[in-house]
Amino acid sequence: MKDNNPKVSLMRFCRLLGLTRQSYYQHFWQEELVSIEHELVLQRVLEIRENHRHIGTRKLYEMLQPFLLEHQIKIGRDALFDLLASNCLLVRRKKRKITTTDSYHRFKKYPNLIRDFVPQKSNQLWVSDITYWKISNGFVYISFITDAYSRKIVGYHVAQTMEAVETIEALKMAISGFLNEPDCPFQLTHHSDRGMQYCSDMYVRLLKNNNINISMTENGDPLENAIAERINGIIKEEYLNDYTVDTIEQAKELLSAVVKLYNNERPHQSIGFLTPNQVHEKNIKTEKLWKNYYQKNTIIVNQLQD
């Protein structure tokens, strides 16, 4: 307003508005400070998105907390959402699905053991799934094994086919890490769909040889393996789909790097915005919001003491 009335003195201008000169300057200083803070936040967001390109606003807000505290910047989640929106930095989800499950086969199918089960420690329940990944010359297939309690990816493998001999490599990785951890007082359960890979003789034999319970979905409902499906989406939509990959060797290298980022840096809302590794390694006592996919109500589960 003062710029539009250059002939009016600042003292008279302030008197007309009922302001002191000090409050006038403080107002514009505050506006400039907020502008600088927003620039700093946007710069930090871009730095985070170099590795986590499609991470959502809620996760970004949690990852920004150390930076905001260090720079004494106060900004709420809604304000961050508005700031990202005004700078075209919100992410949009793309949905596409290719079937990777063939449940019509001769192998034995196992019942669903986890319908009413809620894990209370790491290494009580692993969930497994296979997903496709489009690279420059076709598709490759990724097998994931995720700890349902901590959301940590404990086993993974990428291959050019979905054969059991490939899928079992993810299980071998998970078991290898599990055997190197302290003894768990609970018996571990492995949950998957009824695909041929998981029902195959070699896969079932490896589970039984390591005293791991076998659980499988029963009706093809994706909610019966919802955590595994969610992990597939996170890894592909937030990370892999932004890269151009030409060979299976490049795919393996990139997947390994992405899993490390996911396990060590990406916060999860379902575990109190901690990272999977934080929860998995220390069994951190946080109150978690678990969804029981067979009931309408949401159940709050308190973790047991160590």
pLDDT for 274-298, tens place per residue? 999 999 988 776 555 445 544 443 3
pLDDT reading at 50 higher than 80: yes
Please report the pLDDT score of residue 4 as a whole number: 46
The pLDDT value recorded for residue 151 is 96
Report the DSSP beta bridge partners of residue 140: 133
Answer whether residue 228 shows pLDDT above 90: yes
* pLDDT, mean of residues 155-184: 88
Q: Please say whether the beta carbons of 272 and 287 come within 8 A.
A: yes
Tally of residues, the chain:
306
Two tokens, residue 250: 């490049």
Domains annotated on the chain, with CATH:
10-87 (no CATH), 125-282 (3.30.420.10)
CA 294 to chain CA mean position, Å: 23
- The Cα–Cα gap between 37 and 136 comes to 41
Residue 211: band (very low, low, confident or very high) from pLDDT cuts 50, 70, 90: very high
CA 97/CA 140 separation, integer angstroms: 14
Over 90: is that where the pLDDT of 216 sits?
yes
At 182 the pLDDT is: 59
Give residue 9's pLDDT band: very low, low, confident or very high (50, 70, 90).
Answer: low
Cβ 231 vs Cβ 153: under 8 Å: yes
Full 3-state SS string of the chain: CCCCCCCCCHHHHHHHHCCCHHHHHHHHHHHHHHHHHHHHHHHHHHHHHCCCCCCCHHHHHHHHHHHHHHCCCCCCHHHHHHHHHHCCCCCCCCCCCCCCCCCCCCCCCCCCCCCCCCCCCCCCEEEEEEEEEEECCEEEEEEEEEECCCCCEEEEEEECCCCHHHHHHHHHHHHHHHHCCCCCCCCCEEEECCCHHHHCHHHHHHHHHCCCEEEECCCCCHHHHHHHHHHHHHHHHHCHHHCCCCCHHHHHHHHHHHHHHHHHHCCEHHHCCECHHHHHHHCCCCCEEEECCCCCCEEEECCCCC
Confidence band for 303, pLDDT divided at 50, 70 and 90? very low
Q: For the whole prediction, is pTM greater than 0.95?
A: no
Q: Are 226 and 116 in contact (CB under 8 A)?
A: no
Per-residue pLDDT of 89-98, as tens digits, reads 887 665 555 5
Average pLDDT for residues 107-113, to the nearest whole number?
A: 88
pLDDT in tens, 244-276: 999 999 999 999 999 999 999 999 888 889 999
